[in-house]
Chain A
């Protein structure tokens, strides 16, 4: 217990002193010398550009064989437990949604998690799916109680500097862009036309902050999930839904009377969230992603779930932090 705490402290210290520029305003005020850095403006209002959110930890070792995780690593903890606990959603068609016929949760995000389980156990089915509320996606990897904690969150979670302060992200596994979903017969062409209109997003998502910050001043409406936003939209409680094009595509696939419009409002690179307490697991995940980018697994997964969005592009290239 004590050694683990020491390791955590060491990691925190490394991040605080030598971390990327974004970590200059780490949560503990006495840790960083540059509290007057750009991030001091506070999260939410202006985008935090103090770091490169796409850059993750570079894998230091080759991937261990499935079922033979090195002792003392977090992967070993997972292996000993017998299953990987993945935090995700159950209402984002294409990424992670409950198949009403089978009751199973499936999608692109779920497959990302399954590929990690495959790398640990040699068996993709050794995975426990736990649904994480949208506003708990970052906190879920660091919950106090083991029953509430998850190993990994893959849930259309945008890697950004504000979140990097609390958790580590894997390298980027999907590039999304924020757009707007409106009624098929409406004249709205994007967020700029939605001034004074009700626009829905999941509480705790960057999309919600985006509505608040939009210059056209739409009225933000928060719902627990984007599925609930679609319900609100179909019940005429809101005029539009804004979030990443990939999620909107999943919503649009369920309602022929909507369209996705607008120029990309912002780039939303998706990464998997992992606790800062075990950087070796982040490195492991990055190594798995790297392997799957190269051997075509990523493209196959894309084609399986996201073929409606067009032919599979090249996977997002991995970027690593200079200091690691």
Chain B
């Protein structure tokens, strides 16, 4: 090792970083150099701000659109699939209980349920990415619904010929519905709920927004610094283009703040007054249908109170709790609907207890008559109708809020970069004029 090697190594290493730093350092020492630096900084910040403003707006818009056009409809469709399947199962069991030729009304209701389920499944499939738990659930549902329909059709055909194997077909169909179809629909519902949650955070685009705020502040600070520097080093108090640039930046800040704050506030109310009650009401409707199904299956099994009746009690408790939390909805239309549902649930609970009492007391035929009779059916219908009304009301509110939330984001996508460009032009004009003076 010799000192000569060290001496030679130093100049070859130094130029790369040292060269730029050295030149910047040299620029800082002269007034025109300093101005050049400030201009470079302003241009860089301006362009970056414009870019980020555009990206933030685009990302928030994409998130909001995805939430409104995909995630939330998916949630609603998942609920439709679930409740339609549960209702089909209950309706088939009630038709069986009715004995004889199944009532045409129940047949129609079953057919309508199946139609609703398959239609919702088709559009849910369009809204779901190719892999993941939601797609898996949709795949299983698509395979099992035709199987289910086939079993019920066989049950009917056998029933028409007076063959008791029809009842076995119905029991097999019901098992398929309860053990595969409904759990899959529930999995889809849960996954849709997660997507809605993720949708809200995408729509808020918090990281981009934070970056935009930092850039805007840095830009303003730089502009203020540049103007103070110029007013000190020159005799002019105001540099008109730079003042205009500051105005443009403030305008950009204000526009962004107004649009993003508006979007967030509408998102918040879409979430709190739309998605949340929709999820709860949907869950309540599913629980209600489960109760009715439990009742019908207990009677169809004719084996006294078994697992199904325990499930009824548990489901009923959950539903009462859920209706209690929904009762605090501030909107009066929803509160009325929930009230009606709660009353219906109370009446239905009383009727159900009577049904169980009759069945346990050995009056099976009377129990069946009461269970599928008009009084019980009306009580139950006012429960589901109340929930349905609340659901429609909240769905409409969600759609409105999301529409409003998405408004303005599109213009910000264009306006952001455009204002930034104007700002850059102004900044260049303002500082170039001073630089000319040093020539």
Which residues does A use to contact B, with CB under 8 Å? Answer: 82-83, 85, 90-93, 97-103, 105, 128-133, 147-148, 224-225, 227-228, 230-231, 234, 251, 254-255
Contact yes or no, B303 A133, CB < 8 A: yes
Inside 8 A of A234's CB, which chain B residues have their CB? 154, 165
Give the residue name and chain of the B residue nearest to A149 (CB). B304
| Chain A contacts for B302, CB-based, 8 A | 90, 105, 129-131
Q: Kindly list chain A residues whose C-beta atoms are within 8 Å of the C-beta of B100.
A: 100-103
New A-B contacts (12) at CB < 8 Å, excluding given A100-B163, A131-B303? A90-B164, A90-B302, A92-B164, A100-B162, A101-B162, A102-B100, A131-B301, A231-B168, A234-B154, A254-B164, A254-B165, A255-B165
CA gap between A80 and B162 in the complex, in Å: 37
**Size bin of chain B's contact surface:** 20 to 34
Interface string of B134-161 (1 = CB under 8 A from A): 0000000000000000010010001100
**Interface core residue of A82, A83, A93, A128 (most chain B CB under 10 Å):** A128
Are A227 and B165 touching (Cβ within 8 A)?
A: yes
Does the CB pair A230–B303 fall under 8 Å? no
Which one of A103, A132, A148 contacts B368 once the chains associate, using CB atoms below 8 Å? Answer: A103
Q: A101-B100, A105-B302, A231-B172 are in contact. Are A90 and B163 (CB under 8 A)?
A: no
Q: Which of B82-137 contact A (CB under 8 A)?
A: 97-100
Q: Is the interface of B mostly helix, strand, loop or mixed?
A: helix
CB pair B168 A91 closer than 8 Å: yes
Q: Which 9 A-B pairs have the closest CB atoms?
A: A103-B99, A227-B168, A128-B362, A97-B164, A131-B302, A254-B163, A131-B303, A83-B362, A100-B159
- Contact call A228/B164, Cβ cutoff below 8 A: no
Q: What residues of A have a CB within 8 angstroms of the CB of B168 in the complex?
A: 91, 225, 227-228, 230-231
CB-CB under 8 A from A100, the residues of chain B are 99-100, 158-159, 162-164, 166-167
Q: How far is the CA of A284 from the CA of B165 in the complex (A)?
A: 35
Which residue from A91, A99, A105 sits with its C-beta under 8 Å from B162?
A99
Q: Is the CB of A103 within 8 A of B304?
A: no
Separation of A188 and B83 alpha carbons in the complex (Å): 45
Q: Which residue of A lies closest to B147 (CB)?
A: A235
A98 to B365, CA, bound (A): 13
16 contacts between A and B (CB under 8 A): A82-B362, A92-B164, A93-B163, A93-B164, A99-B164, A100-B99, A100-B162, A100-B163, A100-B166, A102-B100, A128-B364, A129-B302, A131-B303, A230-B165, A231-B169, A234-B154
Please determine whether A231 and B165 come into contact, CB atoms closer than 8 angstroms. Answer: yes
Q: Does B400 contact A (CB under 8 A)?
A: no
Q: Are A102 and B99 in contact (CB under 8 A)?
A: yes
Quick check: is B31 within 8 A (CB to CB) of the other chain? no
